[in-house]
Amino acid sequence: MNELHGESRVVALVPAAGQGVRLGESKPKAFVPVGGSPMLALAVDGLIASGSVDEVVVMVPADLIDETRALLPESAIPVHVVPGGAERTDSVRAGLDAAPDATFVLVHDAARALTPPSLISRVVAELRAGAPAVVPALPVTDTIKSVDAAGAVTGTPDRSGLRAIQTPQGFDARLLRAAYATDTQATDDAGLVELLGTTVLTVLGDPLAFKITTPLDLVLANTLVAQRNTPIAAREAVTTP
């Protein structure tokens, strides 16, 4: 890829250092299998399969570094494993420190294990076309309400102007470093960039890039992989009465 794009280098940072409290399994979430493979291996596979990434940095709990190296497949591009931190922002910061020569940075949750490679390529294409920050976005299907501390509804924002945001989120590397150098807080990486006043572009997200957060999400993810692995003829045999 570097031959095609001069010196520019796309590095994907994969936060995988969370504990997965809401999933409630016996191991940290990124190591929980989906269709037999740990989520973080699936997420890294998707990044490599996109053909749009030159290097991957995975951030994991410090005591699981060796285990992570053993479970990641051999790959044509470098895949580094570094310790993450207590909060997701700490993990991303650790990943940025491990990617000093990145031109573009993708930040992609290990928990979005089934993200289609085509979505990853869409984000990178917009970065290469000049957008400084790019996030995948989907229309919101539920009505969203704001509430006060007592649970009383305080408003109903117009849903047509709302989007649910996924990963990978893509950035000009200097911009993301500048955003992380500030001492501000945001719930996602793009949020930090927005606070700098930079415009963040959306591209159409993909339902398969959902974040595996709860036990129900894990059931859905396992079901999707099982369907994907079942030949169509066998599926028809099962569904034909």
- The residues that touch Mg ion, with contacts defined as CB under 5 A, are 18
Answer yes or no whether residue 30 interacts with ligand CTP by CB under 6 A: yes
* 179 contacts 189 by C-beta, under 8 angstroms: yes
Q: Fill in the DSSP letter of residue 123.
A: H
Answer yes or no whether residue 189 interacts with ligand CTP by CB under 6 A: no
Minimum gap (Å) between residue 54 Cβ and ligand CTP: 21
Spatial CB neighbours of 97, under 8 Å, sequence gap ≥ 6: 82
Which parts of the chain fold into alpha helices (H)?
A: 39-49, 65-71, 88-97, 117-128, 173-181, 189-195, 215-229, 232-239
Minimum gap (Å) between residue 21 Cβ and ligand CTP: 3
Q: What are phi and psi of 163, to 5 degrees?
A: -135, 145
CA 49/CA 105 separation, integer angstroms: 17
Minimum gap (Å) between residue 18 Cβ and Mg ion: 5
Answer yes or no whether residue 109 interacts with ligand CTP by CB under 6 A: yes
- Nearer to ligand CTP by Cβ, of 61 and 132: the residue is 61
Among 110, 173, 209, 225, binds ligand CTP (CB under 6 A): 110
- Nearer to ligand CTP by Cβ, of 16 and 131: the residue is 16
- Partner from ligand CTP, Mg ion, none contacting 136, C-beta within 5 to 8 A by type: none
- Partner from ligand CTP, Mg ion, none contacting 145, C-beta within 5 to 8 A by type: none
Q: Which residues bind ligand CTP (CB under 6 A)?
A: 15-22, 29-30, 59, 84-88, 91, 109-111, 211, 213
